[in-house]
Amino acid sequence: MIVQIYAFTDTDQALAAADAGVDHVGFIAGRYDLVHGELSFGEARHLAGALAGRATRVALTMATDVDEILRMADAVQPDIVHISTDVDDVDVRAMEQLRWRLPQAVRLMKALPIEDESSIDAALRYAPLCDVLLLDTKAHGLPGVGASGRTHDWTISRRIVESAGVPVILAGGLSADNVGDAIRVVGPWGVDSNTGTNVPGDPLKKDIERIWAFVSAARHA
């Protein structure tokens, strides 16, 4: 079971998470003044460099322009580029270009909001263009997909896991308290936590004890 944790802004905390058994360490690469925890390309590159050989480096982007996303990937050198915009802001054509133009060693992950039956159709459209799908909860009124702190209908996520044909990471309101149930219902390749592993009330600081608890609960399940 792959464990992915977002969104790190501090290198020491990111290294502590890797020591706690986090497989994918995520951070937001690019200052677009859209979400909490954005890092400049230079800051993100420094964090990614410190994690080399310790964890898979996952750079989340809120950019919608293909050339800008490629510029980020070149500057930051992550292992995975995570497209977390609203779904069709980086549409099928754009994903095709990214798949073709990104270095072969860089994996491509797209976040999809899980809402209703249309979410399954979206997953089937985008899965052939991705190495990983991330299934998350849309916070309406906020840009992009994720960081809502809310769960969604796991039965829809289960159907995507069964039909997409690519690895799926489940996100959306997961914590040590519910990740075991989520794994048993959905059967994903991996699980992701952001708000559930923050210091309560602080969107920028991770709680290493909560991270340890999340990793332990996911592994146990």
* Domain coordinates in residue numbering, the chain: 2-220
pLDDT per 10-residue tile (average), the chain, 221 residues = 97 98 98 92 98 98 97 98 95 97 97 94 97 88 69 95 98 96 98 95 92 98 92
pLDDT at 151: 85
pLDDT at 142: 66
| Type and span of the H or E element at 167 | none
pLDDT at 147: 67
Separation between Cα atoms, residue 117 and residue 15, nearest integer Å = 39
Cβ count near 121 (within 10 Å) = 10
Residue 81, both tokens: 């580029």
Phi, psi of 202 (to 5 degrees): -125, 105
Angle at 146 between CA 179 and CA 218, to 5 degrees: 15
CATH topology for the 2-220 domain: TIM Barrel (3.20.20)
Q: How far apart are the first and last CA of the chain?
A: 9
Q: What is the number of residues in the chain?
A: 221
CB 149 within 8 A of CB 169: no
* pTM for the whole structure: 0.96
**Four-residue CA torsion sign, 13, 1, 83, 138:** negative
